[in-house]
């Protein structure tokens, strides 16, 4: 995407208040911080989800686990097509259901007899994960896997031996398909009151991920890498903290309440940022009768604003059809969405423009120090101050994108955006948390300057990037 390549107004202004030295501004001992892997995950922002397996052919959402392997037989599987469309939609990665609740493995696992190897597809010689992982590398996409803990097929499910099976299958995925950026643990479990109960050895599974793929982020209701957003509509709360208290909560039914997942915990003990999941169709798997119910580019864009635009990541499910291709309707919607992203965020009017610190209590404070972070550039200013962006001449704009420098914790709790009017300032937008990205859209205005004021912050706010778009 063109907008992703643009450099924006990266440079550093430190401080202006004599008592503040870099160390004290940047570090705040009380704040929880992300790992480098989590920071890379934040930058991944938007990726596709592929639900594919026996359900694609049996028209179910939750397979029973009793399906025979011969149902799985895509006629024209083309992972390059999936990846081309993902790129055109602006996605930076993909995650596939390596195994859904029905237990069928899309790769020839050595620890199951319910896999592609037992299916007629490619005479049992195929491996969907291999094809997709290779295609991702060719197309510059990150690759991740969903491995359902709940398994309706495996004979050992419900016994301690199943933990060995799960650990072994997980290890195959972690060691045989190259770098993974995400491992997805679904909390769903539809076992009835008399169903098999499995006590999962999650600490063991977490250790395996850490050992084999230290950069992979584990998704679940409680992370540890990132958290479910509490709904399957693809949206997060306007106030969205990356921190979460997970003590006392588990995965699935024992997860934190939905409103906590939506907001996070301002004083939460762990960095567990939100990932919003949603399907482009009503179901997660492909159903021909839903071909007319594919979300439009406009609906997808709204979802994007309410997820990525509020500091969360977005995983958008696009279920391949029975051919093993993304259906024409879905692909048209995704390409339309990608164009909309490019049209909106293609040309940053603030590119190369300077930011001037301004202080309410006095004249322009001198810039006392220029500080360049080792890993990136960042704007830094005092929470009592404001920041003015000068566009050079009057411009019309309706979108502003703000990004906080998260390496030292999430700080901003409230801010306003204003433009000059009658010798003073007029508010055009306001918000609470900023986080990785906050996208603000408002009725178009014409102005030369934009003033950003952080009105509440947990420590000195660190702003990484400000972008302005016509819309
Ligand atoms: C849910 C599952 O039960 C659905 O089938 C789907 O995989 C969705 C992403 O998560 O919990």
Give the per-residue pLDDT at 16. Answer: 32
pLDDT of residue 247 exceeding 90: yes
pLDDT digits 0-9 by tens, 169-222 = 999 999 999 999 999 999 888 887 888 889 999 999 999 999 999 999 999 999
Contact 102 CB / ligand 1 (< 6 Å):
no
pLDDT of residue 421 exceeding 70: yes
pLDDT digits 0-9 by tens, 288-339 = 999 999 999 999 999 999 999 999 999 999 999 999 999 999 999 999 999 9
User: Which residue puts its alpha carbon closest to atom 3 of ligand 1?
Assistant: 188
Give the per-residue pLDDT at 11. Answer: 29
pLDDT-derived band of residue 4, with 50, 70 and 90 as boundaries?
A: very low
Per-residue three-class SS string for the chain: CHHHHCCCCCCCCECCCCCCCHHHHHCCCCCCCCCHHHHHHHHHCEEEEECCCHHHHHCCCCCCCCCCHHHCCCCCCCHHHHHHHHHHCCCCEEEEEEECCCCCECCCCCCCCCEHHHCCHHHHCCCHHHHHHHHHHHHCCEEEEEECCCCCCCCCCCCHHHHHHHHHHHHHHHHHCCCCCEEECCCCCCCCCCCCCCCCCHHHHHHHHHHHCCCCEEEECCCCCEEECCCCCCCCCCCCCCEECCCCCCCHHHCCCHHHHHHCCCCCCEECCEEEEEECCCCCCCCHHHHHHCCCHHHHHHHHHCCCCECCEEEEECCCCCCCCCCHHHHHHHHHHHHHHHHHHCCCCCCCCCEEEECCCCCCCCCCECCCCCCCCCEECCCCCEEEEEEEEEEEEEEEEEEECHHHCCCEEEEEEEEEECCEEEEEEEECCCCCCEEEEEEEEEEEEEEEEEEEECCCCEEEEEEEECC
CA of 11 to the centre of ligand 1 (A): 43
pLDDT digits 0-9 by tens, 92-128 = 999 999 999 999 999 999 999 999 999 999 999 999 9
Give the per-residue pLDDT at 21. Answer: 43
pLDDT of residue 372 exceeding 60: no
Residue of 191, 232, 253, 318 to mutate, ligand 1, most atoms within 8 A of C-beta: 232
pLDDT digits 0-9 by tens, 258-293 = 999 999 999 999 999 999 999 999 999 999 999 999
Give the per-residue pLDDT at 194. Answer: 80
* CA torsion through residues 331, 333, 339, 345, sign: negative
Query: What does pTM read for this prediction?
Result: 0.92
Average of per-residue pLDDT values in the chain? 89
Give the per-residue pLDDT at 25. Answer: 62
CA of 163 to the centre of ligand 1 (A): 21
Contact 277 CB / ligand 1 (< 6 Å):
yes
pLDDT of residue 404 exceeding 80: yes
User: Which residue puts its alpha carbon closest to atom 10 of ligand 1?
Assistant: 186
Give the per-residue pLDDT at 357. Answer: 57
Give the per-residue pLDDT at 205. Answer: 98
pLDDT of residue 370 exceeding 60: no
Give the per-residue pLDDT at 6. Answer: 25
Q: Per mean pLDDT, which of 26-35, 425-434, 445-454 is the most reliable?
A: 425-434
CA of 12 to the centre of ligand 1 (A): 44
* Ligand 1 atom with least separation from CA of 146: 7
CA of 83 to the centre of ligand 1 (A): 22
* Ligand 1 atom with least separation from CA of 184: 9
Give the per-residue pLDDT at 318. Answer: 99
CA of 56 to the centre of ligand 1 (A): 14
Q: Phi-psi region for residue 264, left (φ > 0), alpha (ψ -120 to 50) or beta? A: left
Give the per-residue pLDDT at 405. Answer: 85
CA distance 425 to 430: 13
Contact 186 CB / ligand 1 (< 6 Å):
yes
Q: Per mean pLDDT, which of 63-72, 372-381, 407-416 is the most reliable?
A: 63-72
Contact 284 CB / ligand 1 (< 6 Å):
yes
pLDDT digits 0-9 by tens, 119-177 = 999 999 999 999 999 999 999 999 999 999 999 999 999 999 999 999 999 999 999 99
pLDDT-derived band of residue 26, with 50, 70 and 90 as boundaries?
A: low
Residue of 185, 188, 230, 276 to mutate, ligand 1, most atoms within 8 A of C-beta: 188
Domains of the chain: 5-30+348-469 (2.60.120.260), 36-345 (3.20.20.80)
* CA torsion through residues 200, 205, 207, 210, sign: negative
């Amino acid at each position: 995407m063109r907008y992703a390549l643009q450099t924006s107004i990266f440079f550093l202004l430190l401080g202006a208040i004599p008592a503040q030295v870099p160390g004290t501004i940047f570090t705040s001992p009380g704040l929880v911080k992300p790992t480098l892997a989590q920071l890379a995950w934040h930058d991944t922002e938007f990726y596709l989800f592929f639900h594919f397996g026996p359900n694609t052919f049996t028209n179910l959402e939750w397979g029973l686990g009793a399906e025979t392997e011969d149902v799985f037989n895509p006629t024209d599987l083309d992972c390059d097509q999936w990846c081309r469309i993902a790129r055109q939609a602006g996605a930076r990665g993909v995650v596939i259901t390596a195994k859904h609740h029905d237990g069928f493995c899309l790769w020839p696992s050595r620890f199951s007899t319910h896999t592609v190897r037992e299916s007629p597809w490619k005479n049992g010689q195929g491996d969907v994960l291999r094809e997709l992982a290779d295609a991702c590398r060719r197309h510059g996409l990150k690759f991740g896997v969903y491995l359902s803990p709940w398994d309706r097929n495996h004979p050992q499910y419900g016994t301690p031996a199943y933990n060995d099976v799960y650990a072994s299958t997980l290890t195959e995925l972690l060691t045989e398909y190259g770098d993974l950026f995400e491992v997805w643990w679904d909390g769903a479990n539809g076992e009835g009151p008399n169903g098999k109960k499995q006590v999962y050895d999650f600490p063991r599974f977490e250790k395996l991920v850490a050992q084999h793929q230290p950069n992979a982020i584990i998704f679940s209701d409680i992370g540890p890498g990132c958290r479910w957003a509490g709904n399957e509509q693809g949206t997060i709360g306007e106030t969205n903290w990356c921190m979460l208290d997970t003590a006392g909560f588990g995965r699935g039914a024992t997860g934190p309440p939905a409103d906590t997942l939506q907001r996070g915990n301002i004083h939460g003990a762990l960095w567990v940022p939100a990932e919003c999941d949603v399907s482009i169709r009503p179901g997660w798997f492909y159903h021909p009768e839903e071909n007319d119910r594919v979300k439009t580019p406009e609906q997808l864009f709204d979802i994007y604003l309410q997820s990525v635009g509020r500091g969360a990541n977005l995983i958008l499910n696009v279920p391949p059809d029975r051919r093993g291709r993304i259906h024409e309707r879905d692909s048209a919607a995704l390409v339309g969405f990608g164009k909309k992203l490019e049209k909106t965020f293609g040309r940053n009017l603030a590119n190369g423009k300077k930011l001037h610190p301004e202080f309410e209590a006095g004249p322009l404070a001198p810039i006392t120090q220029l500080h360049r972070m080792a890993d990136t550039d960042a704007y830094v200013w005092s929470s009592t101050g404001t920041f003015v962006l000068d566009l050079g001449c009057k411009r019309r704009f309706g979108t502003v994108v703000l990004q906080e420098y998260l390496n030292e914790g999430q700080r901003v709790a409230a801010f306003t955006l204003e433009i000059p009017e009658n010798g003073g300032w007029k508010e055009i937008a306001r918000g609470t948390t900023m986080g990785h990205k906050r996208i603000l859209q408002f009725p178009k205005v014409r102005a030369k300057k934009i003033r950003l004021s952080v009105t509440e912050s947990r420590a000195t706010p660190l702003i990484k990037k400000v972008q302005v778009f016509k819309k």
